[in-house]
Amino acid sequence: MTPGAAAGDLAGAGQASFPAWRTDSQGALLWANASYLKAVEAVDLEDARARDCALDQKARDDAAQAAKGQATTYTRAITIDGKRRMLRISLFPADDGASGIAFDVTEEIEVRDTLAREAKAHEETLNHLTDAVAVFDSSRRLTTHNSAFSNLWGLEDAWLNDGPTHGEWLDRLRQSAKIAATRDFAAWKTKELSHYQEPGLIPDETWTMPDGRILRVARQRQPSGGLLILFEDISDKMGLQARFKTLIEVQRATLDKLGEGVAVFTADGRLSLANSAFARMWGLDQSFLEALPEFDLVAERAILVHRDPVFWSELKARISDPSPRSRQEKQGEFICADGTSLTWLTRPLPDGATLAAFADVTAAREVETALRDKAAAFQDADRLKTEFVRNVSYQLRTPLTTIGGYAELLAAGVGGTLTESQSDYLNAIGLASSQLEKLIENILDLAMIDAGQMSLDLGDVSLAETLEVTAEIARTNSVNDQVRIVVECDDSAGIIRADKARIRQILFNLVSNALRFTGKGDMITIGARRFDDTVRLWVSDTGPGIDMARQASAFEGFADGDRRAGVSLALVKRFVELHGGWVSLASPNAKGVTVSCYLPAKATHLHAAPELDLVS
């Protein structure tokens, strides 16, 4: 219905579902249909006229104006049947009055509001994207863009909001040097604009920017004939891909340098990585491995090298079974058909794959066998040496005892009175016999220690007493009374837990060794001092020293090159070590010798031979 419609035209609106009415020149109601009467809550037309009912006051006022020739249309909220409805009211002149109609546009407005909210939400969503997005309509004008788009190209929002065309946008990018220069810009621009008409999907492209950035350009045609363009900065992604590719190549080259065969199988049992050693080990072609075959195909060929179906079946289970029981690191060793010894290891990886590694240990096993044989030979030789020393020592003691016994008888005058020279000879024989007997005892003790059969009889040992007794015995047995023997025992030395007999043997061996290399005017010092839980015993003399080059071997048995080193010092070192201590030797400027023994204040059976622990 238009403002120029005849008043009689409303007669057809009597049964219409929308309100329709007619008023006189003063705006008084003349006629209304049932929908109008219902809207103003009138019983009938007479009731509505009597009460001068109108949709609202503005409708009454606008009717009077329409009667004067001023047609008007507006939308306002009207309450009908207790509900708030949005009506679009149109008033227009008709004869001597005005006609009016009202359409309920509540749903239309709600839909429009919903679309507006969705459009706003869509715009906000686009602005939250880090990728630049632009939408051009069918006329190739920019209708929508996000903030990332304007930031990417450095364009003013005011210019973009004016809706430039696609071509104008490309020209602006070229003028501001935002895109890389092309030899034929016109042809490139034509190609860009042709995406509006080209059939099929538009493939993605990459644009390299003047500043070195790389953009992925994705395009999508719109149902309305427009075009959506998305720009993603993939510079970091491309850099990561390049670094990742380099890393993979480095890893592969590194794996190929390994002597161990390494392979990685995915959770579905397919080979994903293998080095050249793996190929050589199992007789596999490189081309076969590059095809990334399934595990079963690899096992079919590898079983010719290791003919154990159970092994390959269990290995497959560890690769493909996702249960925690199967996905555990395991290792073992087997011998191949050609006699090669291989160790193997399987290890689950975080991504569900499984690493399998194999190492050829044939040479190592051969070396181990040779070393075991050599160790057994050494043990046999050591046992034979110990037995030899024991037998020789026993055989030497018998004639030595006889020599010593007869020397004593002759010295006692059993064979007659001896001259002074004969007495000196007998004394020399007795001294030599005693020294030889002591040497034999030392050799036997060394043999027992080396055999692990020497035990310690631990008890309380007074160091002051032990030092005095040792000095007294040394003075008594010394043939040279012009060598002074002094004792320096610190008051803090006290009592230690040790084998008393072995401590005395240590000191006596050191003093005896010093006596053999000292003369008139020399001095021997026997000392002891405590440092917390450690006690230092030492014997020093002023006789000839030991060269620096030979001091390191002074405690080795039967050392060559220096008479001051020998069995007695070797035995001292072994006794001290049995107690859990250590020894040192000092001979500054090859003048005089000081041998120090550092012992724990409380020795235990842990320091003794291992056999003692078994017995206890």
> What's the pTM?
0.38
- 496 membership: H or E segment, kind and range: strand 495-499
Q: Are residues 370 and 356 in the same domain?
A: no
Q: Are residues 296 and 342 in the same domain?
A: yes
- pLDDT beneath 70: ranges in the chain: 1-12, 385-386, 388-397, 431, 435, 439, 442-443, 446-448, 450-453, 479-481, 557-566, 605-616
Question: What's 273's domain CATH number?
Answer: 3.30.450.20
Q: Are residues 213 and 260 in the same domain?
A: no
> Is 389 inside a domain boundary?
yes
Give the single-character DSSP code of 227: E
pLDDT digits (tens, 9 = 90+) for 249-307: 887 777 778 888 999 999 889 998 899 999 999 999 989 988 999 999 999 999 999 98
Residue 517 CA, distance from chain mean position: 64
* Per-residue pLDDT, 7: 39
* Per-residue pLDDT, 609: 46
- 232 membership: H or E segment, kind and range: strand 227-233
Q: Three-state SS string across 116-165, please?
A: HHHHHHHHHHHHHCCCEEEEECCCCEEEEECHHHHHHHCCCHHHHHCCCE
Q: Are residues 168 and 294 in the same domain?
A: no
Q: Would you tell me the crossing angle of helices 500-516 and 567-578 to the nearest 10 degrees?
A: 150
Q: Are residues 493 and 609 in the same domain?
A: yes
Q: Are residues 252 and 334 in the same domain?
A: yes
* Per-residue pLDDT, 174: 93
> Is 558 inside a domain boundary?
yes
Domain boundary among the residues 442, 465, 488 is at 442
Q: Would you tell me the crossing angle of helices 420-450 and 500-516 to the nearest 10 degrees?
A: 130
- 485 membership: H or E segment, kind and range: strand 484-489
* Per-residue pLDDT, 528: 94
Inter-residue contact 403 to 411 (CB < 8 Å): no
* Per-residue pLDDT, 194: 92
> Is 2 inside a domain boundary?
no
Q: Are residues 136 and 98 in the same domain?
A: no
- Which segments of 412-495 does DSSP mark as H helices, in order? 420-450, 463-477
Long-range contacts of 471-474 (CB under 8 A, 24+ apart): 471/511, 471/526, 473/508, 474/508, 474/511, 474/512, 474/515, 474/524
> Is 250 inside a domain boundary?
yes
Residue 50 CA, distance from chain mean position: 93
Inter-residue contact 358 to 342 (CB < 8 Å): yes
Q: Are residues 515 and 595 in the same domain?
A: yes
What is the C-alpha to C-alpha distance for residues 363 and 341, in angstroms, rounded to an integer?
9
Q: Are residues 503 and 566 in the same domain?
A: yes
> Is 515 inside a domain boundary?
yes
> Is 449 inside a domain boundary?
no
* Per-residue pLDDT, 6: 35
The distance in angstroms from the start CA to the end CA of the chain is: 122
Inter-residue contact 55 to 23 (CB < 8 Å): no
Inter-residue contact 92 to 74 (CB < 8 Å): no
Residue 611 CA, distance from chain mean position: 44
Q: Which residue has the tokens 């009415």?
A: 21
What is the C-alpha to C-alpha distance for residues 127 and 141, in angstroms, rounded to an integer?
20
Inter-residue contact 48 to 40 (CB < 8 Å): yes
Q: Are residues 459 and 497 in the same domain?
A: yes
> Is 494 inside a domain boundary?
yes
Q: What domain count does the chain have?
A: 5
Domain boundary among the residues 409, 442, 475 is at 442
What does 271-303 look like in DSSP terms, one character per residue? EEEE-HHHHHHHT--HHHHHT--BHHHHHHHHT
> Is 1 inside a domain boundary?
no
Q: Are residues 315 and 206 in the same domain?
A: no
- The boundaries of the domain holding residue 395 are 366-442
Q: Are residues 94 and 155 in the same domain?
A: no
Domain boundary among the residues 360, 376, 393 is at 360
